[in-house]
Structures are given as C-alpha cells and as structure tokens.
Structure 1
Amino acid sequence: MNIQRIMMIVDASYHTRHTIERSLREIDRRALNAMVLVKRHGKALAGYGVVAQAFRERAANLKEAASHLQESIAPLIQAHMRILQHRSYADIFHRKVQEMYHYHITCPTFVRTEKAWEQAIIAEEAVALTILRQLIKSVEKLQEGIAEQEYVVIIGRIEAALSEGTGAPLMRVSRDMGMAVATVRDAIWKYHNQLEEILHESNIGI
C-alpha cells in the first residue's frame, strides 16, 4: 500500500466520522422536536410518540457504534507506516545484494537481513489485514443499525399519516428524519466500499 492510499483511508475516515456525527445530532434534534409535538397534542399522537422515542434511542446507539470506528484507524495507519518503513529497508539491502552479485561477491549477512525485513513486512501485512477486516465488520454492524433506523422512519411516516388530522406537522418531521438517516446511510455505504476496495487490493498484494 502506498502513501496515497494511506492518506485516502485517513481522509475517508475523517469525513465519514464527521458526517455521521453531524447527521446523528440532526436526527436527535428532529426526534426531540417530534416528542415536543407529541407532548403538546397528548394522547392523539401517542403512537407517534413511541416512534419518536425509538428513533432517538436508535440514534444514540448509532452514535455510540460510530464512535468506535476511529479506534481502528490509528492502529491500521501505524501498521501500514511500518510496512512502508520495512519495505524501504528491505529495498536497501536488496540493492546492496544485487550490487555485490554484479561483482561476484556474496554476503550472507545482507541476504539474511533482506529476508528478515521481508518477513517483517509479511507479519505487518497480516496485522493490517486483521485490523481492516475488523473495521469492515464494525461498519457492517453500523449499517445494520441504520437499516433498523430506516424501518423506524417508515413506521413514523405511517403514524404521521394516521395522525394528519391533528394538525401537527409530523409528515414534515418524518421526512426530515428520513433525510438525516439517508445522509448517514450514504456516508457509511461509501466508506464501506472504500474499505472493501482497500481490502481487495491488500489481498491481491499478498
């Protein structure tokens, strides 16, 4: 993996995390507004109140799950930086060995050192792959939570339609909630695809 790919991971992780945090704050605000509307209208909106509460609770769960994504980024970047460093050392000894071969000189120490760095690279690549796979699993878990949140949005729209006669602007609230969830879904979907692409490239390189 080259330095450009490493920077892509850093940038993608940063933008995804901030998009999620911003959207989840918006989701929480919308859910809170809905609960205020429910309180004003009393029993007439009791069904929507349950939905709004579930929506807010799931948003909190998503926020908690998303907060752990960043924990895997630093170890992943560190592993890849070590790989780049080890590769540079291995290349140095490889060039030295080739130069000596050119003059019909052999140096077992240089050959062993080159092989040692190559083994270190293999070990670090295995570590990086493990971290990357764990990160992808965490993202997929987050996607499951988003799917559940989208289901709550659908239920909310149904309840909003049933409560339309109360005069409360629940359809608009539900629409805004849905848009906020869609923003999170799209950000995570894009991030997941980027990680899968990196995993594919890493597997090819092994």
Structure 2
Amino acid sequence: MAGIVIGGVGIDAARHVRDRAQWPLAALPLLLAGHSLVEAFVWWGLRGDVSGRVLTVATTVYLVIAFVVLPVYIPVMALLLERSATHRAMEIVTLVAGVLCSVWLGVALLTRPFVARADGHHIVYHVHLQAGPAVIILYLVSTCGALIISGRRFLRWYGIVNLAAVAVLAWVATDAVTSLWCVWAAITCVSVAVYLRATGPAAGPRAPVPVG
C-alpha cells in the first residue's frame, strides 16, 4: 500500500533532520502517508467492506487534512525554513491566505453536506462551497505558492511541480483533483527524504577525537 511505503520514507526523512526548523518538512511525508491510509478506508467504505459510519469518519478526516490542515501546514513549514526577512514576509502572506482558506473550508465542512463517491480508479469528493474560485485561489496560494516563493531552491521546484500537476489533473479530471493531487503530493514527497539525506546525514556514532 502506498501509504505504508510513504510512511517508511517519512521515517527515513526524520532520521536526517539537522535542526528544528526542518522537522515540519521531514514530517510532511508522514502526514501525507497518513492521509493516503485514511483514503484506503474511504475506498473500503464505498465498496461496502466497512460500515457506513467508518466511511463517514474516514471521509471527514480525509477532507479535514486536505482542506483545513494542509493550507496552514505548508506555509508554516516554508516559513520556518526561511532566513531572509523578505522571504519570511512573503511567507506570512501565504500563511494568512492559508488560514483564511482553512477557516472557509472548515466552516463549509461543518455546515454543508459533503460526500465521497467512486469514479473508476479514483474518488470524487463533493463539498458544497460558496465563492468557489476565490477559495481555490487561496488554496493554491497557500499550498503551492508558499513553496514557489521560497528562498530554498528545492522548495521552489517542489512547488512548481505540484502546481503543474494541479493544472494537468484539473484538465484531465476536474472532479477528482482533490483525491488525485493528494496522491501525487504523497508520491512526490519522496523527494523530501532525498533532499534531507543530501543536506543532513543521519546522526551516527561519533568518531573518536584524537588526543595529543
């Protein structure tokens, strides 16, 4: 299962953290792995393998992570990694966009009906939103824009690749963007472990210090 594999990647990423600012980045694969595992329960619920209650809980948790957690988590992650005052100021703007998006979508999940349904090899999540285009812009600014404006080249490319993926997925299967993009993001976060491996080797036994 993809979630288990990505979870292993997340553990490897955590082993290569050099400072506290890198922990949210290292934890991203674990967050997305958990997200993928939750969607497995959504699949099982849609197939009738688990109860309707489990399906409802799994769908709710999946959408809360996608719509409420990620728009705030990504800008915070990027902000913590910034050292330039200019980049930090820009990241604060994306964080504000993320908070607005998170609150907007959170209220929608609390007050409006939502449903998941199988459509071929992916799941379509329907959430009734008002001012849809505005919240989509806020979501993209917070989840992709926060990475694209980063002062770190790895994050910039990661953001560009994910924004391109959103565009392609929206063109191919508009209704399935939420599910397919989250799967894509989970798979591509393998690059996070590669990046942390390159910048911060796992701590091991220290070599003895010569005396004399």
Task: Specify the TM-score bucket, using the shorter chain as the normaliser.
Answer: 0.3 to 0.5
- Normalized per residue, which structure has more helix? 1
Q: How does the TM-score come out when normalised to structure 2?
A: 0.36
RCO comparison, higher one (Cα < 8 Å, 6+): 1
Q: How does the TM-score come out when normalised to structure 1?
A: 0.36
Rg: which structure is higher? 1
